[in-house]
Amino acid sequence: MLFQELEKRNFVMNRRLGSSLAMIAGAINVAGFMEFGYYCANMTGNASALALNLQKGALQEGLRALELGGSFVLGAVICTILVNIGHRQRWPAKYVFSILLEAGLLALMGLVNAIRGFDQASFFPAFTLAFLMGLQNATVTRISGSVVRTTHITGMMTDLGIEIADLLDSWRYNVSNEHRSSIKQRLWLHLQIIGSFVVGGVIGAFVYYDRPTYFFLITASLLAGSAILGSITNATAWFSRKN
């Protein structure tokens, strides 16, 4: 899922990639709110919180919303730098590094939480989660050619509305079966990603409520496992072609 990009990708690849990472993003977003009181993937909400807190004169809360947005952007910047380096160096697994970085930082957070717990006065863990959400969203956006975004549910719902309108239009007017099938595929893709984000949030809430100490270690293991499994699969296919 993390190797073919742009024109080499198909609906099944985008569906698997988007659904799996959206589920993890939904879980992390809910856990972040339960632990720190902030939705670390909701940049629209954070921008609104910034404006509202500035209007009320609550500068510290406004600054925190701004810092969350900055952390999200920084994650996207780091992802793009890694991908661009990978393009220049012709790394076959350039997208895997971003996912492994996300898994590593989640594991580090999990270890800190398991050993000493999070400092409730510190805002750094929330920054870290926002950074990771930006990192993940940029990774999926780049590899899919902007077809999939795992943390940007507002955008995915907008795309869903567009596809519903296009599908209704295709039934009213004479269009080719191929065009109608393409619309249905995109609609189904957006539905699955949105649903996966919600399901991930529900599962994440239950897991975090029951096992808060180990939640980030669990999500880190899932991310690392998917990246490593993809690397092994890709390497096996590459050696098979060579032989």
Give the Cα separation of 228 and 141 in Å (integer).
20
Spacing of C-alpha 175 from chain mean position? 34
DSSP characters over 85-153: HHHHHT-TTHHHHHHHHHHHHHHHHHHHHHHT---TT--HHHHHHHHHHHHHHHHHHHHHTSS--SS-H
* Domain-embedded: residue 236: no
pLDDT for 70 equals: 95
Domain membership of residue 70 (yes or no) is yes
- Residue 242 inside a domain? The answer is no
Please report, in tens digits, the pLDDT of each residue of the chain (243 residues total).
554 554 454 556 667 777 888 899 999 999 989 988 888 888 988 899 999 999 999 998 899 999 999 999 999 999 999 889 888 887 767 778 888 899 999 999 999 988 888 876 678 888 999 999 999 999 888 877 667 777 778 888 998 999 999 999 988 888 888 888 889 988 988 899 899 999 999 999 999 999 888 999 999 998 888 777 766 655 555 556 555
Residue 237 within any structural domain of the chain? no
Domain that holds residue 184: 10-231
- Tell whether 243 is covered by a domain: no
* pLDDT number for residue 56: 92
- 175 occurs within a structural domain: yes
What secondary structure does DSSP assign to 39-64, as a single string? Answer: -TT-HHHHHHHHHHHHHHT-HHHHHH
Residues 186, 134, 92, 230: is their CA dihedral positive or negative?
negative
CATH code for the domain in which residue 55 is found: 1.20.1250
47 within 8 A of 53, measured Cβ to Cβ = no
pTM of the shown model: 0.84
Domain total for the chain? 1
Look at residue 194 and tell me if it is in a domain. yes
Q: Tell me, what's the pLDDT at 6?
A: 45
Q: Cα–Cα–Cα angle for 209, 25, 218, nearest 5°?
A: 50
What letter would DSSP give residue 10? -
The CB-side HSE value for 119 (13 A sphere, CA atoms) comes to 4
